[in-house]
Amino acid sequence: MAKLFRKKEISRLLAESNKSKLSKSLGAMDLTLLGIGGIIGTGIFVLTGVVAAKDAGPAIILSFIISAIVCGLTALCYAEFSSAIPISGSVYTYTYATIGEFLAFLIGWDLMLEYLLATSAVAVGWSAYFGALLEGFGIHIPKELASAPGAGEGGIINLPAIIIVLLIAALLSKGIKESAKFNNIIVMVKLVVIFLFIAVGVKYVQPENWTPFMPFGFEGVMLGAATVFFAYIGFDAVSTAAEEVKNPQRDLPIGLIASLTICTILYIVVSLILTGMVPYELLNVADPVAFALQYVQQDAVAGIISVGAISGITTVLLVVLYGQIRVTYAMSRDGLLPKVLSSVNIKTQTPMINTWTMGTIAALIAGLVDLRTLAHLVNIGTLTAFLLVAVAVIILRRTHPEIPRAFKVPLVPVLPAISALGCFYLMIQLPAMTWQAFAIWMAIGTAVYFIYSRKNSNLETEQK
């Protein structure tokens, strides 16, 4: 029992970070743009339409606000942790330092589910916009090769989704500096496209489209909040970059909070204009933002939006796959996963084998599973991680009050407790099938821990 709750000393974590072979090249602006790159993508360009049509109607703006409040409280907890323990691994590392090894492994296993499936889900959204763009030029990808078997379109495999994930893996294997430069450029393009949609779309808003405002009731708003939570997952990937930041104690909190604030405002404005332009029941399409512009005969702008959406969703892929690789890197370094996943290529200063392993798995999932199922599974994984961060911040305050923190969550333990309860409330809104799949994944993780990880843990080796 004691082994299950053995902790990794924070002084040791910091020492390992100082010895890290990863390149330290990111600043506050890079982190903010990394967060925006991870947040604005499938959530704004794909999920807004599905959630408005099936769950919340025009009240989708309330769904975004509710999710943003929960995420905002969680971001404060992440900011304190990342300024106190600036180590790769995100909530996995924080849990290892505060609660113990077994739960740390399980949350790392949970993060693997979150990031892998998020990469795959975003790739499916990218594929939909890419197909729509090609159709504008009279090029049609056969449905059998452009959708997963469960998507209800007679699909066999989603080939564009597979190809884009492998291309992103190739970029990440080149190095974080190159990846960050690419992300920064594409984020600027993405923001210009969103402002273009706002400027054009606001002229076509018809207030009568906002009536009824809440057609599916409050229950629909909450289900919508649980679903659009997927739109915010990118910001926690910022914390996984801790070991590649020049001044993590200062820059990580800035990157986390700034990116979340900017994206929340944009989500609310875009969803308000979108449901004002088009009756909500017509928005159940894979490319709602481009569709809304086509609906008001702005086809040229719709084409530009599709290009922007494709580039924007590409940066989300970059950020979430990056987060996945850094979590498995941290777990491997601790001995909880095979050591080959933490080997760093001397030339590129990246975990090359890890990058291609995770990229290949995510590509296969993207090719074979439909978007809605993926989004729900990602959400339950994310919410579990966020809940644990809130609990861990309370524990860290009690057990290590002396650690220097560049940022502190106000009103501890009240705000972290509200954050944890908010996450749990959104979790219980998700379908039963999502909970069943999550339980199976965690059961597999428990088996992996007891069969492999417990015996190969660095702490176990040292004790022996």
Q: Write the CA distances from 322 to 76, 148, 296, 379, 454, integer angstroms.
A: 22, 24, 38, 18, 26
Question: Residue 34 and residue 351: Cα distance in Å, rounded?
Answer: 19
Task: State the residue range of the domain holding 327.
Answer: 31-455
Indicate whether 360 belongs to any domain. Answer: yes
Tens-digit pLDDT profile for residues 155-204: 788 899 999 999 999 999 887 778 888 888 888 888 898 999 999 999 99
Question: Residue 37 and residue 122: Cα distance in Å, rounded?
Answer: 12
Of the candidates 187, 319, 248, 183, the one whose C-alpha atom is nearest the C-alpha of residue 26 is 248
pLDDT along the chain (464 residues), means of 10: 81 74 81 86 79 91 90 87 80 86 91 84 82 79 77 76 93 83 86 92 94 92 84 75 81 89 91 94 85 88 82 84 88 92 86 93 84 73 87 89 86 92 88 88 94 92 81
Q: 152: domain CATH number?
A: 1.20.1740.10
Phi-psi region of 160 (alpha: psi -120 to 50; beta: other; left: phi over 0): alpha
Residue 451: other Cβ atoms inside 10 A: 9
Indicate whether 1 belongs to any domain. Answer: no
Locate tokens 């004691």: which residue? 2
Q: Which two tokens stand for residue 323?
A: 């987060």
Q: Write the CA distances from 75 to 30, 289, 330, 391, integer angstroms.
A: 17, 28, 21, 13
Residue 144 has what pLDDT? Answer: 81
- How big is the CA angle at 93 (ends 331 and 440), to the nearest 5 degrees? 60
Of the candidates 438, 451, 443, the one whose C-alpha atom is nearest the C-alpha of residue 373 is 438
Locate tokens 């601790």: which residue? 334
Of the candidates 366, 384, 364, 359, the one whose C-alpha atom is nearest the C-alpha of residue 437 is 384
Question: Residue 308 and residue 313: Cα distance in Å, rounded?
Answer: 8
Indicate whether 159 belongs to any domain. Answer: yes
Indicate whether 3 belongs to any domain. Answer: no
Residue 146 has what pLDDT? Answer: 77
> Is the CB of residue 416 less than 8 Å from the CB of residue 391?
yes
Residue 165 has what pLDDT? Answer: 94
Phi and psi, residue 26, nearest 5°? -105, 140
Residue 152 has what pLDDT? Answer: 59
Question: Residue 92 and residue 80: Cα distance in Å, rounded?
Answer: 15
Domains of the chain: total: 1
Phi and psi, residue 158, nearest 5°? -95, 90
Q: Report the run of H or E that residue 397 belongs to, with start and end.
A: helix 371-399
Phi and psi, residue 347, nearest 5°? -70, -50
Residue 316 has what pLDDT? Answer: 83
Residue 371 has what pLDDT? Answer: 63
Indicate whether 4 belongs to any domain. Answer: no
In three-state form (DSSP H/G/I as H, E/B as E, the rest C), the secondary structure along 264-290 is HHHHHHHHHHHHHHCCHHHCCCCCHHH
The reply to whether omega before 212 is within 30° of 0 (cis) is: yes
> Is the CB of residue 17 less than 8 Å from the CB of residue 242?
yes
Indicate whether 2 belongs to any domain. Answer: no
DSSP-assigned letters across all residues of 152-198: SS--S-BHHHHHHHHHHHHHHHH-HHHHHHHHHHHHHHHHHHHHHHH
> Is the CB of residue 193 less than 8 Å from the CB of residue 314?
no
DSSP-assigned letters across all residues of 329-390: HHHHHTTSS-GGGG---TTT-S-HHHHHHHHHHHHHHHHHS-HHHHHHHHHHHHHHHHHHHH
Residue 91 has what pLDDT? Answer: 83
Tens-digit pLDDT profile for residues 114-161: 888 888 888 887 887 788 778 777 888 887 887 777 655 667 888 999
- How big is the CA angle at 16 (ends 13 and 21), to the nearest 5 degrees? 140
DSSP-assigned letters across all residues of 69-121: HHHHHHHHHHHHHHHH---TTTHHHHHHHHT-HHHHHHHHHHHHHHHHHHHHH
> Is the CB of residue 454 less than 8 Å from the CB of residue 397?
no
Indicate whether 5 belongs to any domain. Answer: no
Indicate whether 359 belongs to any domain. Answer: yes
> Is the CB of residue 162 less than 8 Å from the CB of residue 367?
yes
> Is the CB of residue 85 less than 8 Å from the CB of residue 13?
yes
